[in-house]
């Protein structure tokens, strides 16, 4: 099975994980790690390394992070580059997490990354755009 490590600033990871559990229930091969203001890069790195140990039975790992360029992203990127079969996806939101947790079976880390990016793009929308998708672009005129 593909392991997932969710990381982010403040309570991002634990909050998203709690919401995920509320909707999908407990998930195996999943670890959430927060990076609170009181933490350090060294401590966060150790927590990520510990999570990798907890997921040692997973053939591949995907790190999901909140913000491109932030400490969680940088630490996860460094760990991902140390071994093949590891990927990092950043800019994670609730829809992406839920869909990808449900769809990860049978995916490699690389396939997960590609599918997650498509999911993220598809999930970023607005009410106006969604309502527009439901309306006909040009009214159909009937009659003679």
Domain of 81: which CATH number?
3.40.50.510
Nearest to 19 by CA among 100, 125, 98: 98
- Is residue 35 in a domain? yes
Indicate whether 25 belongs to any domain: yes
- The sign of the CA dihedral 131, 133, 139, 142 is negative
Residue 144 lies in a domain: no
Residue 18: pLDDT band with limits 50, 70, 90: very high
Distances (CA, A) of 21 to 24, 62, 66, 89: 5, 19, 18, 20
Q: Residue 84: inside a domain, yes or no?
A: yes
Distance CA(134)–CA(130), nearest Å, equals 7
Q: What percent of the chain has pLDDT over 70?
A: 93
Domain that residue 130 falls in: 2-134
User: Where does the pLDDT of residue 91 fall: very low under 50, low under 70, confident under 90, or very high at 90 and above?
Assistant: very high
Residue 64 is assigned to a structural domain of this protein = yes
For residue 61, tell me if it sits in a domain.
yes
| Count of domains for the chain | 1
pTM of the model: 0.89
Specify if 143 maps to a domain.
no
Whether residue 140 is contained in a domain is answered as no
Q: Quote helix, strand, coil % in the chain, to nearest 5.
A: 50, 20, 35
């Amino acid at each position: 099975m593909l392991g997932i490590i969710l990381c982010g600033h403040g309570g991002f990871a634990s909050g998203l994980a709690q919401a995920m559990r509320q909707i999908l229930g407990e998930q195996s091969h999943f670890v959430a790690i927060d990076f609170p203001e009181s933490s350090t890069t060294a401590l966060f790195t150790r927590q990520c390394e510990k999570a990798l140990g907890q997921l040692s039975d997973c053939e591949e790992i995907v790190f999901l992070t909140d913000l491109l360029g932030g400490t969680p992203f940088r630490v996860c990127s460094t760990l991902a580059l140390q071994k093949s079969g590891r990927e990092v996806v950043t800019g994670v939101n609730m829809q992406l997490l839920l869909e990808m947790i449900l769809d990860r079976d049978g995916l490699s880390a690389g396939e997960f990354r590609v599918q997650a990016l498509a999911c993220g793009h598809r999930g970023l929308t607005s009410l106006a755009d969604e309502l527009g998708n439901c309306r006909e672009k040009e009214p159909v005129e009937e009659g003679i």
